[in-house]
Each structure stands twice: as C-alpha cells, then as structure tokens.
Amino acid sequence: MTLCKALLAQLLGLIIAIGLNPLLPLQLSGLVALLALQSSCSMLSSVLLRQPHWWLVIHLLFLPSALALHSQELSVFWYLLITLVLLLVFGGTVKGDPPLFLSSTAVVDSVSQLITQESALHFAELGAGIGTITVPLAKDHPHLNINAWERAPLPWAINVWRSRHYANSTCYRCNLWSCDFNQYDVIFAFLSPAVLPELGTKLGLAMRPGSLLVSSSFAIPHWKPETIKQVNDLAKTQLFCYRIT
Ligand SMILES: C[S@@+](CC[C@H](N)C(=O)[O-])C[C@H]1O[C@@H](n2cnc3c(N)ncnc32)[C@H](O)[C@@H]1O
C-alpha cells in the first residue's frame, strides 16, 4: 500500500507537471523547471495521500536523482548495487517502517547521563540503526546489558560489526514489536511519530513499573513526561522521558 501511494504520488506529480509546464513563463521553461514542478507536485500529492512526512524528501529527490544518474551512463552493475544497498537499509520503509536517521553525539551523551542517573543495568534501543547510541554506551557503561533491536539488514550488520568488542551489547535483527519490553530499566526509541501511539499503548502495558522510556524528538500522544531533556545539537532534539507506573 505504501509503495502504491508513493508510485501514485510520483505519477500524479509527473502528469500535473507536464500539464502545467506549457503555462510557465518562457524564462522558466526547460528540464530544470519541469523537474522542480514534478518534485513539488509529487510532494503535494504525497501530503494529500497522507504519506508519512519523510516521503517528502524522497519525492523531492526521486526523479532529479534518477535523471542525474541516467545522464552519467553508469553500468547496470551500479544501479543494481545502489538498489541493493537502498533495499537493505530502507526496505522496511516501503512497508511503512520509520527510515534510518541518526542521533547526534549530544543525544548519545544525554542518554549516557540518563543511564548513570537511573543506575540502569538493562537497556534496550528500539530501532538501533548502525549503533550510534548503543556502541558508545557499550563502551562507556561496561556493566550495562544492552539489547539493540533493528529490522533493516545493513544497519544491523554494521552495528554487529561495530559492537564486536563489547560483550555487553547484543544486536538482534528483529522486529521491535516482538521485543520483551519487561526486562529493561531504560528503553530508548527514536522512531516516527506515526508509530508512537501504538508503541505507547504496548509499552505502557509491557514495561516494568519504575522503568524509564525515552522517546527522542517526538512525544508519545496523551502521555505525561516526567522530564523533557533539551539536547544542545543542531536539530535541538528533545528527549521525552516517561516513568512507567
Ligand atoms: C530514526 S532511525 C534511529 C536510528 C538510531 N536509533 C539512532 O538514534 O541513531 C529508526 C530506526 O528504526 C528502525 N526500525 C523501524 N521500524 C522498525 C521495526 N519495526 N523493528 C526494528 N527496527 C525498526 C529503522 O530501520 C531505523 O534504523
């Protein structure tokens, strides 16, 4: 369904752009203008089709990147390689999973402080990506037992490789929804707001009373945070910390 909506948005963008192109002033005609129009119309169609917001970036870049690559006359091998890498990193996004965005070093430092404050012994990250958070935590907190849950194959493999020297960190290539949330003192998640209502319902029931849930960047609807940690990074990230009662 997600992929159908994405294709439809691209197609609508193209049809509208071709339709509107002759109406543009002469100075604005040409391929660049057509591409700009197609990208904008695809983004608009994506909004109307209620696709998650990260699809806007994909729609913005899709056709211009495809044409740029095509103009390079690359061998078929490169297309195959690029497609394979994209599938291994973003395959789940097509099914509706949040895509890979990395947390900043300042977020890692804040999470590390929370681990110390909480005297946590068991930590899980839901959607651990390439280990941006779990690798430094494993290094700085040798007594912390870390479980990194990640579904996308390539980020998971990179995390496994980066964690190879840390016996206290285990990377599971698994759907985060099958995680046993009850065994952790702190759970960290940097996921799309689209999945947070369902995640909140599930975690509220499954996490141990007294444990801490940290949601990066997005609040869980209808939950009252115990604290909101303001991180001093470029994105001005906020960490929403919820105490499970
Ligand atoms: C926004 S990224 C965060 C990456 C990393 N946690 C960080 O903070 O740098 C979200 C990650 O969650 C993963 N993900 C999304 N849905 C998932 C699911 N259902 N099960 C496991 N991982 C998932 C994505 O593949 C992606 O790597």
pLDDT of 95 reads 64
Query: Which ligand 1 atom sits closest to the C-alpha of 216?
Result: 8
pLDDT of residue 221: 93
Question: Can you tell me the distance from the alpha carbon of 198 to that of 193, in angstroms, rounded to the nearest whole number?
Answer: 10
Task: Point out the ligand 1 atom lying closest to the alpha carbon of residue 107.
Answer: 8
- Give DSSP secondary structure letters for the chain: -HHHHHHHHHHHHHHHHHHHGGGS-GGG-SHHHHHHHHHHHHHHHHHHTT--TTHHHHHHHHHHHHHHHHHTT--HHHHHHHHHHHHHHHHHHHTT-----PPPHHHHHHHHHHHHHHT-SEEEEES-TTTTTHHHHHHH-TT-EEEEEE-SHHHHHHHHHHTTT-TTEEEEES-GGGS-GGG-SEEEE---TTTHHHHHHHHHHHSPTT-EEEEESSPPTT---SEEEEP-STT--EEEEEE--
- Whether the CB-CB separation of 229 and 241 falls below 8 Å is answered with yes
For ligand 1, atom 1, the nearest C-alpha belongs to 101
Residue nearest to atom 23 of ligand 1 (CA): 127
* Tens-digit pLDDT string for the chain (245 aa): 777 888 899 899 889 888 887 777 766 667 888 888 899 999 999 999 988 777 888 899 888 888 887 788 778 788 788 888 888 777 766 666 667 789 999 999 999 999 999 999 999 999 999 999 999 999 999 999 999 999 989 999 999 999 999 999 999 999 999 889 999 999 999 998 888 999 999 999 999 999 999 999 999 999 999 999 999 998 899 999 999 99
Q: What is the pLDDT of residue 28?
A: 66
Q: What is the pLDDT of residue 23?
A: 78
pLDDT at residue 56 in the model: 87
Q: Whose C-alpha lies nearest to ligand 1, atom 26?
A: 100
Prediction pTM value: 0.77
113 C-alpha to ligand 1 centroid (Å): 22
Give the list of residues 6+ apart from residue 4 with CB closer than 8 angstroms, or none: none
pLDDT the model gives residue 82: 81
